[in-house]
Amino acid sequence: MLSFVFGGSGSGKSSILQERMIRESMEHPEKKYLFLVPDQFTMETQRSLVEKHPWHGIMNIDVLSFGRLSYRVFEETGGVSQPVLDDTGKNLILRIVADRLKPELKVLGGYLKKQGYIHEIKSAISEFMQYGIGLAELRKIIDFSGNRGALAGKLKDLAVLYQGFEDYIRDHYLTKEESLQVLSNRVAKSRLLRGCSIVFDGFTGFTPIQLQVIREIMKTAENVYFTLLFDGREDPWKEAGEHSLFALSRKTLKALEKCAEDTGTDRGEDIFLREVPVPRLKSMPALSHLEQNLFRYPQKSFSGEPQGIRLAFLPGMQQEARYAARMIRRLIREEGYCFRDIGVVCGSLENYETVIGSEFSKLGIPFFIDQNRGILLNPFVEFIRSALRLVSQDFSADAVNHYIRTGLTELSPETADELDNYIREMGIRGFGRWSRMFAGLPKEESGRKSSGEDAEKESADLLVRLNEAREEVLRCAVFLKGMGKTASEKVRALYDFIAESRIQEKLAAFEREFEAHGDLARAREYHQIYPFIIDLLSEIVELSGEEEMTDQEFADLLDAGFSEMRVGTIPQNVDHVTVGDMQRSRLKEIRVLLFIGIDDTNIPGNASGGGILSDIDREFLQGSEYELAPSPRQKMYTQRLYLYMNLTKPSEKLYMTWAGCDQDGKTLRPAYLIEIIKKLYPDLIIEYPEEEEIFERLETWEDSYDYAAEGLREAVAGRLPAERESLLLQLLRVMRERDETAAETEKLLRSAFAGYRETRLPGHLALALCGDHLVGSITRLEIFAACAYEHFLKYELKLEERREFGFEAVDMGNLFHEVLAGFSERLTETEYSWLDFPQEEGEKLLREVLEERSAAYGNAVLYETARSRYALNRIGRILRRAVFTLQHQLRQGQFTPKEFEMSFSTLEDLESVNVALSEKEKLYLVGRIDRLDTCEEDNVCYVKVIDYKSGKNNFDIVALYHGLQLQLVTYLNAALEYEEKRQPEKEIVPAGILYYHIDDPILELREEKTPEEINAELRKVLRPTGIVNDDEGIIERMDASPGPVKEALPLTRKKDGSFAENGLLMSRENIDLVSSYAADKLKELGGGILDGEIGMHPYSRTDREACTFCPYGKVCGFDKKLPGYEKRVLPEEGREEILEKMRERCGGSV
């Protein structure tokens, strides 16, 4: 006999049937009574029955879900011969089937490797099964979709996969959906169901396969009851559109009556619960009005202030969660509620889970988030995935780093850092290289912190640690490299590796640690994860044990299993706040509900669940003869029913909130529900809790930090009213006086009024870092001039970027210098000089030197990859052009190379590189002059300095004035002093300071030219730049080439005899002035370093600034929006203005 119980939310449908079943079960103890409810309601229903039963036991009453009913019936009737596949098993089989059938998949084949795509295919096939769509029905749907190419293509591919899936499991496995089909066939044989009374409670609808089971139950059960959600004032059988609030209930009613008609089931007496207001809300008129009018038309407005309903706007999601936590604490403290009396529903649990956890924990609220967690980010899963990736990617640096960071290896975080840095800098990759002992350290690593014996010991200890770490990583390869061909062999190898790594023991240690910190949800996850993974491995063996597959296919198979697995959590205690979502929340008999996140991204939100079939596809398929899962439009209508059910759950109070922006700062708008609520309750005032006084919002001392920080932000911005400022000061005073909060309060105050304050290192600290004898390069002083703080980080704290194995632009410049220096050395061993070596000899020497230097450079990085080998060929071409261009330039004048790579260390007695800063303090410069050329006559020696550059450098007198370009002039000072000491009888005259750009330029030719003409053009482009003495005699000695265009100097003579590039010429007097100024600037900068200057005032010019390429941008914290942070803007002054300033600085004369 079939009966229905109709009633609105809170009308007592469940209670009436529970009381009736309890009464009948006591009158007929020989009979069986069943409650069939959704999975999430089984425990609540059992508890409710026990509480209502006079004997406080359910005796001959049982509470089951569809799944548990299947197990009970199968257990009774002999079960099924095939094991039942869960979702993980489906994913595994579909991964195997999809790999086999990929050539046949014209549309979906290209997406199979995409993360989560197999899960989408599984969902589509499960949907077909749930709605009774077999392959024959699917082919009819394909025919129906014939004129929609994309949809038909997707359905054809799904049919191929559906067929492959069924072929694979036939006679071996049973899906959950098929288990319901089998259940429908076994119902008639079940004594459990024969003659019983069964109640279906808590369902909003049924799938076709569930209706098939219900149809069979109607044949064998004595009484079948269904609770259906309906407004007591409505006629359930009256037709209404799909937009009506109870359309889903009407659809379910029709389907159930059709089942009764098909099976000849008699109709019993229906129960209509029409009491207004409903019993749950009898004492709350405002909430009762909501139950009677929400989404009903025409709407009636509530007269007066709605007691028990509050509507609030918060600026952000974090504040929403904090408001909810604050309200909960007040309800507990002031009104005597228990935590279990209160429930929280989120518009999107996924978006709010983190902020709720943070704010509730901060205020000490016990809570339970009703949601199963995925395991993809669990360390055990990452350990397995990274270990397999380590082997499949042949020990690449990224794969190794991922593996050693899982937290489940034997390596400490410090050792993992050392290993990661080492393999990246040394370029260690590949199993073969990992199999050999690590024998060497980078040059910079040896003795970096110490010197002598201490450095050797540090290096030896580091190598020992690195090789121990290498053995730990290699252990992975022992088990996983060459795992075998079949899935079974690979699972065995992986299991042995897991056991050898003592993962179960490590996970147990994590579990105990989480328990000790009170994080029982995380502890439970770590408790469950190991058996889950082992079960997955067993399932792989069972499903595809002897099937051959590649290592990558095996990894994909595991990923398919991992993506489907979920770990459940249970409440940590009885008295807790349950947090859920709109659809599967298990809230029952709560007194207070806080509904947060009522914005238009969640309500109605994206009704599409994604998936292979799009929204448009589903709307189109509504026209076919077969039912599928609801379309997006239908889901939106159904969501209104869930909103109605949730908003009418509390019996006393309802709080609703929405936020102004999400966690990323994106603006949120209130959902349409807010407007409906406002129309239902015209006198309901929207609250703005964040505008309340600070003290009104405080709940705990921990809570005070947030409000103090917020108030300080407003105060610093000048937006805090005077009265609120007074309250903030009181709060801060109390927090500072309390020992437990004093330290954190001081941090807040420092952060709030953060800004830059000029500071310098104390004398003793500067002395400890630099000593009283400063040793450094000119580049170091130039960096200090650019930004003293960058200098402090780089040279005194010795912070540096992680070095990577590779060949970059800076490496090319270093190699250029090394090869040119080596070429010059090798040339002195022959009978030739720079002026007369023949082309063949030059090419031979250059090739030999390049091979030697490149083989020794950077751990042979230039032979490691095709890219670096190409770079080496390019370097050879550039150097060949440079050598012969330099020779050609020397041949144009009377200068000859005197020194190559002349180190300052050989010039210890020169004042220009050993600068006295004070009586005790000295500056010792280190560096090398790339090339020193001289032209000597009877009583005069002309000196020219050449600096090789791989980048474009031009002499910039403004940069020189501010200490940003001292190198070339300092080189000249050293060269002049060197020659003065070597030849005191001669006058030493500066001829020029020049940059030679080592390059392989590209010419843009407008007409065809001969090779000789092209070389001439290239030599013109490759002329050096810099400063040249304007004495005509000196110019001729440097470059006597005929014609107006000089070939060894960057000069072109005009028709009037003057040079076009007048800015490159400088008188002897001005060269001496610049030299004197540079020497004085060195003293100033060196003294500033020893005085502890670390000011954060980087320079800025029109076309460049210190911060552009500074590697410390993320360290220094320079923020021009904060007070005190300012850049030094350098004015772009002319050469004569700069020279005049130099004269003033140097006393007016040189």
Per residue in 203-228, pLDDT (tens digit) is 999 999 999 999 999 999 999 999 99
Topology adopted by domain 285-372+571-691: Rossmann fold (3.40.50)
CA 407 to chain centre: 18
Place of tokens 């060196």: 1086
pLDDT at residue number 722: 81
Residues 508-516: what's their mean pLDDT?
92
pLDDT for the residue numbered 255 = 95
Are 970 and 1080 within 8 A, CB to CB?
Answer: no
Return the structure tokens found at 4: 């229905």
User: What's the rounded Cα separation, in Å, for the pair 811 and 814?
Assistant: 5
Mean pLDDT over the full length of the chain: 89
Distance between the two ends of the chain, CA-based, in angstroms? 118
Band the pLDDT of 814: cuts 50, 70, 90.
Answer: confident
Q: Domain spanning 2-82+177-275 has what CATH number?
A: 3.40.50.300
Q: Helices 135-144 & 149-169, crossing angle to 10 degrees?
A: 170
Which residues does 732 contact at the CB level (< 8 Å), separation at least 6? 708, 745, 749
Predicted local confidence at residue 446, as pLDDT: 43
Mean pLDDT value across residues 739-759 = 85
| Kind plus residue range of the DSSP H or E element containing 262 | helix 247-263
As a whole number of Å, the CA-based R_g of the chain is 41
Q: Is the peptide bond before 315 cis (omega within 30 degrees of 0)?
A: no
For the record, the structure tokens of 783 come out as: 């960096």
**Residue owning tokens 């076009």:** 1060
> pLDDT tens for residues 1021-1063?
899 999 999 999 999 999 998 888 899 998 988 888 888 877 7
Residue 3 and residue 199 in contact, taking contact as beta carbons nearer than 8 Å: no
DSSP 8-state assignment for residue 604: I
For residue range 325-361, list pLDDT tens digits in order.
999 999 999 999 999 999 999 999 889 999 998 899 8
Strand order in the sheet with 773-777: 773-777, 922-926, 914-916
Give the percent of the chain with pLDDT over 90.
53
Label residue 758 by pLDDT band (50, 70, 90). Answer: confident
State whether the Cα torsion 974-980-982-988 is positive or negative. Answer: positive
Q: Residues with Cβ < 8 Å from 216, sequence gap 6 or more?
A: 184, 185, 187, 188, 263
Q: What is the per-residue pLDDT across 589-612, written as a single tens digit (0 to 9) for each?
A: 899 999 999 999 888 866 555 678
**Whole-angstrom Cα distance, residue 194 to residue 181?**
18
Which three-class secondary structure state does DSSP give residue 491?
A: helix
> What's the DSSP call for residue 272?
E
Task: Count other C-beta atoms under 10 Å from residue 957's C-beta.
Answer: 22
Q: What integer pLDDT is reported at residue 201 of this predicted model? A: 95
For 16, how many CA atoms within 13 A lie in the half-sphere containing its CB?
Answer: 20
Question: What is the DSSP annotation of 873-895?
Answer: HHHHHHHHHHHHHHHHHHHTSS-
Q: Where are the domains of the chain?
A: 2-82+177-275, 84-172, 285-372+571-691, 379-567, 694-752, 764-802+1087-1141, 809-814+862-1074
Question: What is each CA distance from 903 to 23, 537, 607, 820, 917, in whole angstroms?
Answer: 105, 66, 73, 15, 22
Give mean pLDDT, residues 250-276. 94
Higher per-residue confidence, 21 vs 447: 21
Q: At residue 298, what are phi and psi to the nearest 5 degrees?
A: -75, 150
Render pLDDT for 88-110 as a digit per residue (tens, 0 to 9).
Answer: 888 888 888 998 899 999 999 88
* Partner residues linked to 1052 by β-bridges: 1045
- The DSSP H or E segment spanning 218 is helix 208-220
User: Dihedral through CA 811, CA 817, CA 818, CA 819, nearest 10?
Assistant: 110
CA-closest candidate to residue 964, choices 783, 1101, 729? 783
Q: What is the pLDDT of residues 615-666, one digit of tens each?
A: 888 888 888 888 888 877 788 888 899 999 999 999 999 999 999 999 888 9
Plot region of 513 (φ>0 → left; ψ -120 to 50 → alpha; else → beta):
alpha
Q: Which tokens sit at 483?
A: 């795992």
Handedness of CA 544, 546, 548, 552 (dihedral sign): positive
Please, are residues 7 and 13 in contact by the beta-carbon 8 Å criterion?
A: yes
984 three-class SS: coil
Cα–Cα distance for residue pair 932/921, rounded to 1 Å: 30
Mean pLDDT of the 148-167 span: 91
Length of the chain as a residue count: 1150
Take residue 875 and report the two structure tokens written for it: 């370097």
E strand or H helix at 944: strand 940-949
Distance between CA atoms of residues 950 and 807, nearest Å: 14
Q: Are 632 and 625 in contact (CB under 8 A)?
A: no
Confidence tier at 813 by pLDDT (50, 70, 90): confident
CATH of domain 379-567: 1.10.486
Backbone φ, ψ for residue 348 (5° rounding): -145, 105
Residue with tokens 């290289």: 433
**Cβ neighbourhood burial of 733 (10 Å; 0-12, 13-18, 19+):** exposed
Q: What is the pTM of this model?
A: 0.75
3-state secondary structure of 916: strand
Asked if domains 2-82+177-275 and 285-372+571-691 share a fold, the reply is yes
Order the strands of the 309-316 sheet from edge to edge: 367-369, 577-580, 342-346, 592-596, 653-661, 309-316, 686-687
